[in-house]
Amino acid sequence: MPADAAARSFEAHRPGLVRLAYRMLGSMAEAEDVVQEAWLRWSRAERDEVREPKAWLRRTVTRLCLDVLKSAKARRESYVGSWLPEPVIEPEDEALRADEITLTLMLALERLSPLERAAFLLHDVFAVPLDEVAQTLERQPASVRQLAVRARAHVRAAAPRYPVDKAEGERIAKAFFAASTTGDVAALRAMLAEGVVLRADGGGKVMAFLNPIHGLARVLRLFAGLHRKHAHEPARFVRAAVIDGLPGYVSRERNGLLQTTALELEAGRIVAIYITRNPDKLARVAQAVAADGTPRGP
Do the domain assignments include residue 220?
yes
Main-chain dihedrals φ then ψ at residue 158, nearest 5 degrees: -95, -5
Give the domain-ending residue among 48, 77, 106: 77
Do the domain assignments include residue 153?
no
Give the domain-ending residue among 77, 92, 124: 77
Instruction: Give the tens place of pLDDT for each residue, 108-124.
Output: 998 899 999 999 999 99
How confident is the model over 129-144, as a mean pLDDT? 95
Do the domain assignments include residue 174?
yes
Alpha carbons 122 and 62: distance in angstroms, whole number? 9
Same domain for 283 and 174, yes or no, is: yes
Q: What's the chain's length in residues?
A: 298
Instruction: Give the tens place of pLDDT for each residue, 160-191.
Output: 667 788 899 999 999 999 999 999 999 999 99
More confidently predicted of 93 and 266:
266
User: Is residue 152 a contact partner of residue 144, using CB atoms and an 8 Å limit?
Assistant: no
Q: What is the CATH number of the domain that holds 65?
A: 1.10.1740
Do the domain assignments include residue 284?
yes
**CA distance to 69, 94, 97, 104, 256, per residue, from 91 (Å):** 27, 6, 9, 19, 24
Do the domain assignments include residue 127?
no
The whole model's pTM is what? 0.88
β-sheet with 269-276: strand ranges across: 213-214, 192-201, 269-276, 258-266, 246-252, 236-243
Q: What is the CATH number of the domain that holds 214?
A: 3.10.450.50
CB atoms under 10 Å from CB of 98, counted, come to 10
Give the domain-ending residue among 46, 77, 108: 77
Widest CA span in the chain: 68
Do the domain assignments include residue 119?
no
Cis peptide before 91 (omega within 30 of 0): yes
What percent of the chain shows pLDDT beyond 90?
A: 63
Alpha carbons 136 and 114: distance in angstroms, whole number? 13
Instruction: Give the tens place of pLDDT for each residue, 241-288.
Output: 999 989 999 999 888 899 999 999 998 899 999 999 999 999 989 988
Same domain for 283 and 176, yes or no, is: yes
What's the structural domain count of the chain? 2
Supply the range of the domain harboring residue 272.
166-292
Do the domain assignments include residue 63?
yes
Alpha carbons 282 and 286: distance in angstroms, whole number? 6
User: Is residue 32 a contact partner of residue 92, using CB atoms and an 8 Å limit?
Assistant: no
User: Is residue 113 a contact partner of residue 148, using CB atoms and an 8 Å limit?
Assistant: no
CA angle 170, 171, 176 (to 5 degrees): 95
Instruction: Give the tens place of pLDDT for each residue, 17-59.
Output: 999 999 999 999 999 999 999 999 998 876 666 778 899 999 9
Does 214 have pLDDT greater than 80?
Answer: yes
Does 296 have pLDDT greater than 80?
Answer: no
